Structure 1
C-alpha cells in the first residue's frame, strides 16, 4: 500500500511538472481596443487609435478622432491609454519546436540523414507544445517559419502561429519554401591549427552537383516516370514558381554565384538567408528582386578589417539601397534566443534606421518575404487579429512588457514555466 501511495504521489508531481499551459479558445466575443498608440507595421503610427476585431479578423483600424464608433457593436472594450499596440512579430528561419534540449538526442528533430532532402517536411516534426516556444510569445513573437537544417538541401519550411495543441492547429502556410545551403567558398582546414582558413577546392564540384540535381528534377517533372520519386517530386514547387528557394549564403561570391546559378536554371523565386556580405551585391539583388533575411546582428564582425558596428548597420545599408530586408536569428542557442528578435530590430533603430522602418524588419517585410502578407504582418482591416499591447516600446527590452496578446483574435495566456518559477522564488524571498 505504501508503494502504491508513493507511485501516486510521484505521478502527481510529474504531471504538474510536464503540464502544458492552456491553449486559447477560438474568439467568441468581439474586442475593441481604444486610446493606444498603434504601430501598424507598415511605417505608419496612429497616436490615438481604435482597433476592433471579430471572428479572428481585424474589422476596424483607425484614428479615434476621425471615425464614429458604435460601442454597442463590441462585447469587450480594452483601454490602452499610454500603451502601444503592435502586429505580432514574425521569426523566420527558426527551429522552434524542432529541438527541445540540445543534449537530448531524442528531442532533436531538426535535420535528416542525406544531402539532398527537398522532400523533408519540417512541419511533420514540429512540437506545438514545446516549452521553449511558449517563452518567446511574451516578447511578442507570435508567428514563426519552422525550418529544417542540415545537408545541401535541408527540406521545406512551414509557417505556424505559436499557440496551438498540434502542428495541424498551428499551421498558417504549409511548405512555403525549400532551404538550400550553398557551398562555402572557404572552409576551416581539417586538422589545421588555430582554425586556419583554406579555399574550398570542391566548390565548383559542389555547385555542379546542385545543377545536376536540378536537371534531374526537371527531367522527372517533364516525363511520365514508371516509379514515383518523392525526392525529385518535391522540387516541382521550385520549378513552377509556387515555392520559394531560400538560399543560405553569406559571403559575396556565394551570393553572386547562387543567384546566377539558379536564374540560369529557371528558378527565379529566391531569398538570401544570412546575407552577411549582401551589401556588396545590392545591384544584383535589386536587378533580380531578391530580398534578404539578415543573419543575427548581435554578433561581432566576421573580418578584422570591418567596422566594429557593421552588423548593427547592415539593415540600414541594405534598406537604403532598396533591398527588402527581414531579420532572422539562427546561430548558437537560436531557439532560446528567438525571444530577442524585437531587440535585434531595436539595435537596427539605434544604429540609424527609423524606428518604424526597423519594426517592419520583423513584421511587414518578413511577411512579404514569406508570402503571408495578405493576412499577416500589419494592422490592417481584413487581416488576422494577431497583435499585442505593450506597456512601452516593444523594441526596447526595458519596456517590452506585454499586457494583452491575441493570435487570430484569441486571447493568449502569457504564463509559462519561467514566469511560474519567477513567482515561486519571488514568494520564497518575499519579493512580491
Structure 2
C-alpha cells in the first residue's frame, strides 16, 4: 500500500512539469535575414569587426565585411555595437534524459547492466524538457545527449534544442559509443574499516579484460555468419568502420595511456577522451594518436592537495599549448542545470591565459569537429547552417551575455523560458512596490 501511495505522490509531483509544455518550436525559415554591423565571432578564430551576414533557407549565404557592396535581402537587423556568434555546443550532456534529480520517474539516463552499447539515448530524449529550454537564452543551442552508468553506457546522439520531438531534434544520430574506463587506483572504504588512502584497484585488470573480451567477441560475431541477432555486437560494428566514435570517460594518466593502447589493439579508428583531468601529462601520446579531449568543467576545485588552485581553470590552455584538440564539457554535480554556464566556462579559460577566440572555439568549432558535425555547425561560414545568435555584448561574460535574437537552422527561436517568465513577473512586482 505504501508503494501505491508513493507512486501517486510522484505522479502529482510531476504533473506541473507535464502541464507546462515548452514553447511551440519555430517554423521553417521563409524570409531571408540580413544582419548588419555586428562584430562577428566566426568560431574558427577569426573576427569581422563590422560584419554583414545573410542567411536564407536555413543556410548562411554571405559572411563578410559590411563595407562590401552587396544587396541586402529580406528582413534587415541593424546590429551595430552588438556581437554575433555561432550556436554553442554542449557535449557529454544528459539534457533531455533527466529532469529532476529528486524525482526518479523523470530520470532516464541509466539502464540496468554493465555493457550496453545498443542502448540509444536519442529515443529517450525529451524535446519538451524545461531544463533544455533554459539553455537557449545563453546561446547553448546544440548538445550531445549521452547515457550514463556501467562499463559501456550506450550510444549518444547530437540534437538541436528547439524541436517537437527527438525525430525533429536529431542532427547526428548515434554519433558515439561511451565507455566508463575503470580506475587503476581507488580509495579505501572507511565504513568497511579500510584505509581511506589511495591504493591499487585489484579489479582494474579484470575490468579491462572484460572490455577487451567483449570487443573481441563482437569482432568474431561481425566477421562470422551471424546466425543469430546480437544487438550489442551489431552496435559495435560502426566503431570498427569509423562511422561511430568511441568516447572514453577517463581522468588518470595511466588509464589514459591504457585507453590509447586499447584504441590500437582493438582497431578503433576514432577515440575521444572525456574528462582528461591528467591528460596534460600524456599530451604527446594524444597528439601522436590524434585523440582530442573534452575537458571537464573549469568551474571546479583541484582534485589533489598539491595541485595549483587554478589547475581546473587552466587545464584546457595547457592541453591547447601542447597542440591537443580541446573542447569543453560540463558533466558533474547538477550537470544539466550547469550546462547553461558553458559560455562562462570558456570565459574562465580565456581569463586564465588562453586567447579569447581560441576559448570560443572550444565550445563551437572544436567541439563540432570532435562530434563530427563540423561540416554544418560550429562556425559562421558560407554554406553552413544558420545556427547563430546576437548578443548585446561579450557572450563569454555573464555580465554582457544578453541575447536578443537566436536562430537554429535559420528558424527564429524563442528565448523565453520558465526562468525568464519568473524574472519578469517578480521584477515587475518589486517595481510596483517601489512606486508605492
TM-score, structure 2 as length reference: 0.93
What is the rounded CA distance, in whole Å, between the counterparts of 2:301 and 2:79 in structure 1? Answer: 39
Residue aligning to 1:31:
33
| Number of equivalenced pairs | 418
2:188 maps to 189
Q: Describe the superposition over 1:120-162 as per-residue Cα deviations: whole angstroms up to 9, x where unpaired.
A: 0000100000000111110000000000000000000000000
| CA–CA distance in structure 1, aligned partners of residues 163 and 195 of structure 2 | 46
Residue 193 of structure 1 and its aligned partner are, at CA, apart by: 7.0
Indicate conservation of the 8 Å contact 2:276/2:296, yes or no. yes
Per-residue deviation, residues 8-52 of structure 1 (Å, max 9, x unmatched):
xxxxx9699513212111111100000000000000000000000
1:376-419 CA-partner distances (Å, limit 9, x unpaired): 00000000000000000000000000010010001111011111
Q: Please report how far the alpha carbon of residue 283 of structure 1 lies from its aligned counterpart in structure 2 after TM superposition.
A: 1.0
> Structure 2 matches for 1:180-259, cutoff 5 A?
180-190=179-189, 191=191, 192=193, 195-259=196-260
1:222 Cα shift? Answer: 0.1
Task: Give the corresponding residue for 2:411.
Answer: 410
For residues 157 and 262 of structure 2, the distance between their equivalents in structure 1, rounded to whole angstroms, comes to: 25
| 1:298 to 2:312 alignment | no
Return the alpha-carbon distance in structure 2 between the equivalents of residues 152 and 107 of structure 1: 23
Provide the rounded CA distance (Å) in 2 between the counterparts of 1:256 and 1:264.
Answer: 12
**Counterpart-to-counterpart distance in 1, 2:287 and 2:64:** 34
Unaligned runs of 5+ residues in structure 1 are: 1-12
Q: Mean Cα displacement is larger for which, 422-431 or 285-294?
A: 422-431
| SS of residue matched to 1:19 | coil
Question: 1:106 is paired with a residue of what secondary structure?
Answer: helix
Matches of 1:204 and 1:119, distance apart in 2: 24
Counterparts of 1:232 and 1:15, CA distance in 2: 38
Structure 1 residues 15 and 185, CA gap change in structure 2 (3 angstroms): closer
Please report how far the alpha carbon of residue 59 of structure 1 lies from its aligned counterpart in structure 2 after TM superposition.
0.2
1:95 aligns with 2:97: no
The secondary structure found in structure 1 opposite 2:431 is: coil
Counterparts of 1:168 and 1:313 in 2: how far apart (Å)? Answer: 38
Partner residue of 2:44?
42
Gaps of 5+ in 2: 1-14
> Which position in structure 2 is the counterpart of 1:175?
174
Whole-angstrom CA distance in 2 between matches of 1:15 and 1:358:
36
Structure 2 Cα separation of the partners of residues 392 and 115 of structure 1: 46
Residues 196-225 of structure 1, C-alpha deviation per residue, up to 9 Å, x if partnerless? 433211111111111100100000000012
Q: Secondary structure at the match of 1:429?
A: helix
Q: What TM-score does the superposition give when structure 1 sets the normalisation length?
A: 0.94
In structure 2, distance between residues paired with 1:301 and 1:429: 40
Partner of 1:63: 65
Deviation per residue, 1:231-258 (Å, 9 max, x gap): 1111101112111000000010010011
Q: Which residue of 1 aligns with 2:149?
A: 150
**Residue number in structure 1 paired with 2:53:** 51
- Aligned-pair CA distance for 1:293: 0.2
Query: Could you tell me how far apart the structure 1 residues matched to 2:62 and 2:27 are?
Result: 22
- Tell whether the 8 Å contact from 2:390 to 2:403 is kept in structure 1 after alignment: yes
User: Is residue 109 from structure 1 mapped to residue 77 from structure 2 by the alignment?
Assistant: no
| Whole-angstrom CA distance in 1 between matches of 2:66 and 2:49 | 9
Instruction: Give the RMSD, CA atoms, in angstroms.
Output: 1.6
Asked if the contact 2:241/2:269 (under 8 Å) is kept, the reply is no
Q: Structure 1 residues 85 and 174, CA, compared in 2 at 3 Å: closer, same or farther?
A: same
